[in-house]
Structure 1
Amino acid sequence: MRIIAFYSPKGGVGKTAAAVNMAYLASRENISTLLWDLDPQGAASFYLAGAEMVKGRKLSKLLEGKSPIARFIHENVYPNLDFIPAHSSFRNFDIKLEQEEGHNALKDLLAPLSEDTSLVILDCPPTLSRLTEQVLEVADKVYVPLVPTWLSLNSWNQLREFVKDKKLGNKKLRPFFSMVDRRKNLHREILAQGSELFGHQVPAAVPYASAVERMGEEGQPLELLAPNSPAAVEFRKLWVSIRKDLWAR
C-alpha cells in the first residue's frame, strides 16, 4: 500500500481539488484507492459527490477503538474509489494525537487498510501541527500545491524548516504550481524560476480555472466535468508524475 498526502500550510491553494482529482484518476486505472478527508471543513465531500451524499462520523469513536476504520469508509463512491469524509470533530485530531504521544497513531489507523487498498490519499488541513507531523512521517510522498506568489513561496520555506526541525525528511516533499494565472507577470516570472526554487519540482502547473470551482457545485471530479479543460490536462500530468514516483521500476 502506498500513502500520499496533499498538504499546504496555506489554505486556499487548490489542495483538495488536486487530492480529489488524483484519487479519481488513480481509481480509473483500476488502482484500489481510498481518499481520507482529514480537513474538518470537508471540502472533498463537495468535490466528490456534492453535499448530500457523504457524511462523516465522530473521530473519538475511531481513536478510542470503539469503531473500526471500515465503518468510516464510504465504499465505491466511484469504482475503485472509497472515501472517508471529514467530520467537524476532526478539529480535535491534534488534541487526540497529543494524548497518544510516543507512536504514530495515524499509521496504526491506516494499517488495517493495507489488505484491500493500493493507494491512500490524505487531504490534510492547513496547519503545522502534530497531525502534520504524523502525516509527514507516514506518507511516502507529500504533494504541496503552491500559487506562484512570494507569500506562497514563504509558506513553502516555512514547511521545509518545519520538516527539517522535526527530522521528517525533505525528500518526501513534491511541490507543484497551482491556481496559476499566466496573465500576471509575477506568476510567469516564478513559473520560469521553478527548477531553481525547488529542485525536485513536479512538472504540472494547474491553472486558476472556473472549471475547478465548478467541481464543488456539480459534485464531480474534473475528469468527468470538463476533461478537455486546461486544468484537467495539468491534473493528468500531475497524476503521471505521481504514478512514476510511487511505482517506478
Structure 2
Amino acid sequence: MKTLALHNLKGGVGKTAAAVNLAYLAAANDVPTLLWDLDPQGAASWYFHGEPQEQKLKSVFQGSTPVGRLVVPSPYENLKLIPADLSYRYLDILLKKVEPPREALKRLLKPFSEQFALAVLDCPPSLSHLADNIFEAADMIAVPVVPTFLSLRALEQVQAYFKQEGLDVRKLRPFYSMADRRRGLHRELIEQPPLAMARALKAVIPYASMVERMGERRAPMAAYAPSEDPALLAYAELWLEVSAALRL
C-alpha cells in the first residue's frame, strides 16, 4: 500500500478538495482506496457523508480497539473512509503516548495494506507531532500552493523543516492550486516558478466555481461536473502524475 498525504502549513489552499478528488479518482481507476481525514474540521468526511466515531479513536490509541473498526463505507465503490471530527484536535496528545514517537501513524496504517492499495491522508495545516507522524508515514506529500508569495513562503518553511529534522525532502511534491491566470502574479509564478517549486507536479488546479460546488453537492467533482470541465481535467492530470510517481 502507498500512502499519499495532502499537507500544507497554510490553510485555505485547496488541500481537502485535492484529497477528496484524488481519492475518488484513484477508486474510479480500480485502486482500492482509504481516505483518512486527520483534520479536526472533518471537511473531507463531510463531503463523503462519513459519520465520526469519537470514542473508537481514543480506544484505538489505547490498544483496546482494532484500527480497522474506524473505517466506514463511502458512497463510492473501492473507496472507504476514516472520518474525523473535533475530537481529532487531541491527536497530538494521543500520538505522544506511543513509542517511537514519530512512527505511531505508520504502524496504524500498516494493517490496511491487506485491503487497500492507496491511503490518502487529508492533513490539518500545522507543523506538529501529528505532522511529524504524517511525514514519516507518507510515501508522497503533495503540497497545494496558491501562486502567491505568502503561500510559497509556507512551502519554503516546510522544506526548511524537513532539512532541519533530517526528513526526506524528496517526498514533498508541490503543485499549484486555486490558480487564476487572469491575475498577473499568478500567471508570472506559474510561467516562471521559483526555486521552491523545482520538484513541482505539472498539473495546475484552477480557481473555479465548479470546485466550490463540491460543498453544495457534498461530492467529488467527477460525480457531477461535465467531463470536459477544466478543473476536473486538471485533477485528472494531477492523479495521473501522482499515480505514476507512486507506481500504482
Q: TM tier, shorter chain?
A: over 0.9
Deviations 1:87-123 (A, max 9, x none): 2111011112222242411011111111111100000
Structure 2: gaps (5+ residues): none
Aligned pair count? Answer: 245
| Letter aligned with residue 210 of structure 1 | S
Say which SS state the counterpart of residue 77 (structure 1) adopts. Answer: coil
Q: After superposition, what is the alpha-carbon deviation per residue over 1:31-89, rounded to whole angstroms, capped at 9, x for unaligned?
A: 1100000000001023224xxx5334332112112221121111243100000110211
Alignment match of 2:82 (pick from 65, 81, 84): 84
Quickly say closer, same or farther: Cα 1:76–1:45, change in 2 above 3 A: closer
Partner secondary structure for residue 174 of structure 1: strand
Cα distance change on mapping 1:28 and 1:174 into 2, 3 Å: same
For residues 186-230 of structure 1, the C-alpha deviation after alignment (integer angstroms, 9 at most, x for no partner) is 000110122744221101111111111111221111011213321
Q: Give the partner amino acid of 1:93.
A: L
Indicate the residue corresponding to 2:61 in structure 1. Answer: 63
User: Which structure 2 residues correspond to residues 168-187 of structure 1 after superposition, within 5 A?
Assistant: 168-187=167-186
Distance 1:47 1:210 in 2: 16
- Partners in 2 of 1:30 and 1:12 — Cα distance? 30
Task: Report what 1:73 is aligned to.
Answer: 71
Q: Name the CA distance, whole Å, in 2 between partners of 1:167 and 1:75.
A: 37
Moved more, 120-129 or 39-48: 39-48
> What runs of 5+ residues in structure 1 fail to find an aligned partner?
none
TM-score by length of 2: 0.95
Task: Give the Cα separation in 2 of the matches to 1:76 and 1:60.
Answer: 22
The range that moved more, 56-65 or 135-144, is 56-65
Instruction: Tell me the equivalent position of 1:148.
Output: 147
1:238 is matched with 238
Opposite residue 16 of structure 2, the aligned amino acid is T
Q: In the alignment, is the contact (CA less than 8 A) between 1:74 and 1:84 conserved in 2? A: yes
Partner of 1:15: 15
Letter in 1 for 2:240: V
**So what's the TM-score if we normalise by structure 1?**
0.94
Given residue 127 of structure 1, which amino acid in structure 2 is its aligned partner? S
**Bigger shift: residues 213-222 or 188-197:** 188-197
CA RMSD of aligned residues (A): 1.4
Counterpart for residue 42 of structure 1: 42
Aligned to 2:51: 54
1 CA distance for matches of 2:68 and 2:100?
25
Structure 2 distance, partners of 1:68, 1:75, is: 17
Q: Is the 8 A contact 1:46 1:217 kept in 2?
A: no
Tell me if the contact between 1:140 and 1:172 (Cα under 8 Å) persists in the aligned partners.
yes
Q: Bigger CA drift: 143-152 or 105-114?
A: 105-114
Using the alignment, how far apart are the partners of 2:213 and 2:163 within structure 1?
37
Aligned counterparts of 2:91 and 2:108: Cα–Cα separation in 1: 13
Q: Equivalences for 1:107-146 in 2 at 5 Å? A: 107-146=106-145
